[in-house]
Structure 1
């Protein structure tokens, strides 16, 4: 899957094209065991089995990545999750944001399948990881959903609550370098008010030191579930 990102770094802005051949979703990636348990219980409340280990690395088809502002899903029981996504291009590691949009009904049967059946929206901007690595824990991920015609804060938390990306990369690849062509989605924070579907989803990665934000919004079109 070919993606294009407008990148911002200390040396200026440019656009890069990235060919992603492999997508990894790091699940249960919390740094705090209490927070992990909270998310496990949050999902268990809607019927999702407990994971066999943490973190857990799910493989998802790379063609599920999209930078579109609209996705289509079957049935009304899907929802997004804001996460950082890291990838390597031209020898440099970059960070952006993605939504691990998931079918919650199917998740009660198979987490891996529930992730595979939904597109994974990705922002069109990215930052050099090296520019934010020193204060990674201060970065904030948040998301908003549309609810009863209003924009509602759905998720918010600093990356201090999640495992650092290089730790997740090492757990998957056995080295702290992500190979070219591999992208990894790096975990999320809990939903305020519980996991629930919405007709639109907005995600952000906020850099408090430089006062800048990566953002992406998408609408969800529900297709009929017929038998």
Structure 2
């Protein structure tokens, strides 16, 4: 999948094209074991099996990655999760934002199948990882949903609650190093405020408090009928 980004730097912007041929979802990627256990229990409450180990790396078909804003999903049981998205181009690591959109009903049967079944929206802007690596833990991710016509804060937190992407990459590739060119990885999420629930609108943000800039992406889902 060819993903086209606008690379934002301190001196301006330029086009950046990433040919994503491998897509990885890093699950159960919390840094604080108590927070991981909270998310495990949060999902267990809706019937999701507990993981065999943490973190886990789910390979997803790269065709599931999209930068579109109007999407179709099957049924009404899926929901988004805001995550940072790291990817490699010409040996360099870049950062954007993504949603690990997941079918919650299918998740109670198989987490891997539930993730593969849903599209993975990713933003259109990116930063160099090197520009934010020194203060990665200070970055903030947020997501909003719509309920009864109102915009509601759904997730929010600093990245110090999640594993550093370099540690996740090391766990995936089996040692120190960066992602292979053409590989993209979502880097874990945090608990939902008020519990996991679906929304046709998912609005997400990665905020850099030092440079006072954000990467944002909003998408809307149309639920297709489940025909038996």
The two structures have a TM-score, normalised by structure 1, of 0.99
In the TM superposition, structure 1's runs of 4+ consecutive aligned residues that sit over 6 Å from their partners are none
Partner in structure 1 of residue 209 of structure 2: 208
Tell me whether 54-63 or 10-19 shows the greater mean CA deviation: 10-19
Partner in structure 2 of residue 72 of structure 1: 72
Report if the CA contact (8 A) 1:10-1:131 is conserved. no
Aligned length: 227
Question: Equivalents in 2 of 1:44, 1:194: separation in Å?
Answer: 12
Question: Equivalents in 2 of 1:90, 1:56: separation in Å?
Answer: 26
Question: Equivalents in 2 of 1:134, 1:60: separation in Å?
Answer: 30
What whole-Å deviation, never above 9, does each CA across 1:94-126 have from its counterpart, x for those lacking one?
Answer: 000000000000000000000001100000000
What is the Cα deviation at residue 89 of structure 1?
A: 1.0
Report if the CA contact (8 A) 2:22-2:61 is conserved. yes
Question: Equivalents in 2 of 1:55, 1:11: separation in Å?
Answer: 36
Query: What is the CA RMSD across the aligned residues, in angstroms?
Result: 0.7
Question: Equivalents in 2 of 1:118, 1:100: separation in Å?
Answer: 8
What is the Cα deviation at residue 181 of structure 1?
A: 0.7
Report if the CA contact (8 A) 2:91-2:178 is conserved. no
Partner in structure 2 of residue 143 of structure 1: 143
Which secondary structure state, in structure 2, belongs to the residue aligned with residue 85 of structure 1? strand
Which secondary structure state, in structure 2, belongs to the residue aligned with residue 153 of structure 1? strand
Partner in structure 2 of residue 195 of structure 1: 196
The two structures have a TM-score, normalised by structure 2, of 0.98
Unmatched 5+ residue regions in structure 2?
none
Question: Equivalents in 1 of 2:177, 2:51: separation in Å?
Answer: 24
Partner in structure 1 of residue 178 of structure 2: 177
What whole-Å deviation, never above 9, does each CA across 1:55-83 have from its counterpart, x for those lacking one?
Answer: 00000000000000011111100000000
1:85 maps onto 2:78 in alignment:
no
What is the Cα deviation at residue 11 of structure 1?
A: 4.1
Which secondary structure state, in structure 1, belongs to the residue aligned with residue 52 of structure 2? coil
Question: Equivalents in 1 of 2:138, 2:39: separation in Å?
Answer: 21
Report if the CA contact (8 A) 1:4-1:17 is conserved. yes
Question: Equivalents in 1 of 2:31, 2:179: separation in Å?
Answer: 20
Report if the CA contact (8 A) 1:100-1:120 is conserved. yes
Question: Equivalents in 2 of 1:162, 1:140: separation in Å?
Answer: 11
Partner in structure 2 of residue 14 of structure 1: 14
Question: Equivalents in 2 of 1:84, 1:70: separation in Å?
Answer: 20
Which secondary structure state, in structure 1, belongs to the residue aligned with residue 68 of structure 2? coil
